[in-house]
Amino acid sequence: MSEVLDIQTGKRELTKATNRQTILNAARVVFGELGFDAATVRDIIRRTNLSVGAFYNYYRSKEEVFDALADDGARRFRPILHAQAAKATDFESYLRAAVRAYFDFIAEEHSDLAAFGMARREVAHPRTDTPEMMAVYAEVRQALADVLDRGLAPKVDLDYLATSCIAVAREVGDQMLIREHVDVAGATEFVVRLILGGVRALPGAGG
């Protein structure tokens, strides 16, 4: 009987995990399309087979899914980023690895969503920041700051630079995803060259 229970419990647990993820996926799309404020809980559950009540079985509030989304993204991306960072020997290799990891991450994310039959629609008042991505930005920002902090002359404005790198990666990443053929390698190369060239041109930079 305990075996039977295990199987039953196993099914239950599986369903629960699946539902949690289903809601999270739907929320990612909806927040991405509409932004936090405009997105309603009903918008989210409409994209699932679940009921309003089920939503609240899994998340205590709209805010909580939002946060869970951020956690989810950060949790999945952080190890990837760290692994790449460990292998890097200089700024260029770090930058290339980080950007590549980020583009791979969002490309995979993107195709996951696409597999769900979800197309990113254009919206009247665009808010493309998923909390997930915001968490990823924070990660990248910190890592960049760490590396830049060690390798660059003190005259470089670190905040400006970190923020610029993030911004470029983010925007080019979005552009990349919009295109028919998602070319991760090409986008990575573009960003790396642009940033490296730019950094070398900054006053006080080693180059």
Partner DNA sequence: AATGAATGAGAATTCATTCAT
Partner DNA sequence: AATGAATGAATTCTCATTCAT
Using rule CB under 7 A, residue 207 touches DNA:
no
Q: Which of 12, 60, 75, 193 binds a second copy (CB under 8 A)?
A: 193
Binding string, 7-46, against a second copy, x = CB under 8 A?
----------------------------xxxx--------
- Number of residues that make up the chain: 207
For helices 91-115 and 131-151, give the axis angle rounded to 10 degrees.
170
Out of a second copy, DNA, none, which partner does residue 193 contact, by CB within 5 to 8 A per kind? a second copy
State the Cα–Cα distance between residues 129 and 13, nearest whole angstrom. Answer: 31
Instruction: Please report, as a single letter, which amino acid is at residue 186.
Output: G
Out of DNA, a second copy, none, which partner does residue 171 contact, by CB within 5 to 8 A per kind? a second copy
State the Cα–Cα distance between residues 48 and 22, nearest whole angstrom. Answer: 7
Out of a second copy, DNA, none, which partner does residue 111 contact, by CB within 5 to 8 A per kind? none
State the Cα–Cα distance between residues 145 and 166, nearest whole angstrom. Answer: 11
Binding string, 15-54, against DNA, x = CB under 7 A?
xx--x------------------xxxxx------xxxxxx
Six-digit token string for 27:
């929320």
Closer Cβ to DNA, 131 or 173, answer by number: 131
State the Cα–Cα distance between residues 81 and 24, nearest whole angstrom. Answer: 22
Instruction: Please report, as a single letter, which amino acid is at residue 82.
Output: H
Using rule CB under 7 A, residue 57 touches DNA:
yes
Which residues would be at the binding site for DNA (CB under 7 A)? 8, 11-12, 14-16, 19, 38-42, 49-58, 60-63
